[in-house]
Amino acid sequence: MSQFPLPRLGFIGAGRLARCLALSFSRAGYPVTAVASRSATSAARLASQIEHCTASDDPQQVVDAGDIVFLAVPDDSIGTSAHTLRFGPDAARSGKALVHCSGASPVALLAPARDQGAAIGGFHPLYLFSGDLADLERIAGCSVTIEANGALKDTLTALAIALRCHPLSIPPGGRMLYHAAAHYAASFVLCSLAECVALWRTLGFAEDDALRALLPMLAGTIETARDKGLSNALAGPVSRGDTGVVAKQLALLEDLGGDHAALYGLLSRRAVGLAERRASPPAAIEAIAAAVEESLNRSLNRAAAGASVK
């Protein structure tokens, strides 16, 4: 990349993600030479924790002082920020690179840097950064999804390993689907818990009591999925082939109104898919699938009728 044994790293943006990455890379021995942010104060707060690191409110200083520049700004600012940076006539030969850390935004937003000869790429840690120092330890064991070619791909892979993370490769154009799907392992788990809490509330359960009961079960489910895989970790009436229970629960939720039965039906359809992947699926799986599809049809017809009345 340069005459330096390790590439010099810089950060534009000094928020939750930049804080963890800049401090972790520095602790792993990488030179983090410059941080810039919208406000010089947040850049200075981060740079002051890293040896030989300068702070400013001018992103160009990060480009001038580093080899790999991480654009760690909100997604809506990635394109506009990339347009303002100048990489100089030597960018390709000296191995300059511009990298963003978003899971959803296309790497093509960095095209202005590529047009000046810099390499461009994506480096998306699959982790929810809090901005706390605890992130530095908790990120170990996570995965980082990398989109890049050639030498930059090798460098970003080495950087992911320096964070004690697993590098994952993603093809160009895949980021939006990849990011949308990843919600199922983060926010949508919370949404499932919120649905349970809402239903239990009708029985008089308080949210705190509900979470105290649910979170250990969730933790156990995650451990089992890790040990045995998704289909073997599946528990509950679909996995046992209890058609009667599934049908009665769907009917009960239909009676409650709203979209409770539709949500339960769609997730039950996925549970049927998981049960079918087992070496010996429950004998009643087809009857369960039929009950789920009938309920979903009723829910969808009701939703369509409601929409046409409005």
Ligand X SMILES: NC(=O)c1ccc[n+]([C@@H]2O[C@H](COP(=O)([O-])OP(=O)(O)OC[C@H]3O[C@@H](n4cnc5c(N)ncnc54)[C@H](OP(=O)(O)O)[C@@H]3O)[C@@H](O)[C@H]2O)c1
Residues near ligand X, by CB under 6 A: 12-18, 37-39, 42, 59, 72-75, 77, 81, 100-103, 124-125, 128-129
Nearer to ligand X by Cβ, of 95 and 125: the residue is 125
CB of 162 to ligand X, least distance (A): 17
Q: Which of 66/95 has CB closer to ligand X?
A: 66
H/E stretch holding 55? strand 54-56
Identity of the amino acid at 182: A
Strands 143-147, 119-125: pairing kind:
antiparallel
Q: How far is the CB of 269 from ligand X (least distance, A)?
A: 30
CB of 244 to ligand X, least distance (A): 43
Main-chain phi, psi angles of 97, to 5 degrees: -145, 145
Name the residue nearer to ligand X (CB basis): 128 or 252. 128
| Nearer residue to ligand X within complex by CB, 33 or 37 | 37
Residue whose C-beta lies closest to ligand X? 15
Q: Residue 168 CB, nearest distance to ligand X (Å)?
A: 13
* CB of 95 or CB of 103, closer to ligand X: 103
Taking the complex as a whole, the smallest distance from the CB of residue 116 to ligand X amounts, in Å, to 19
Packing angle of the helix pair 40-47, 16-27 (nearest 10 deg)? 30
83 or 201: CB nearest ligand X: 83
Q: Tell me the one-letter amino acid at 227.
A: D
179 vs 269 by CB, closer to ligand X: 179
Listed as own residue / partner, the contacts of 32-41 with beta carbons closer than 8 Å and 24 or more positions apart are 32/8, 33/8, 33/9, 33/65, 33/66, 34/10, 34/61, 34/62, 34/64, 34/65, 34/66, 35/10, 35/11, 35/62, 36/10, 36/11, 36/12, 36/61, 36/62, 37/12, 37/13, 38/73
Least spacing, CB of residue 166 vs ligand X, in Å: 15
Give the number of other Cβ atoms within 10 Å of residue 294's Cβ: 13
Where do the DSSP E strands lie in 78-181?
97-100, 119-125, 143-147, 166-169
Q: For residues 268 and 246, is the Cβ–Cβ distance under 8 A?
A: yes
* CA gap 138, 135 in Å, rounded: 5
What minimum distance in Å lies between the beta carbon of 57 and ligand X? 8
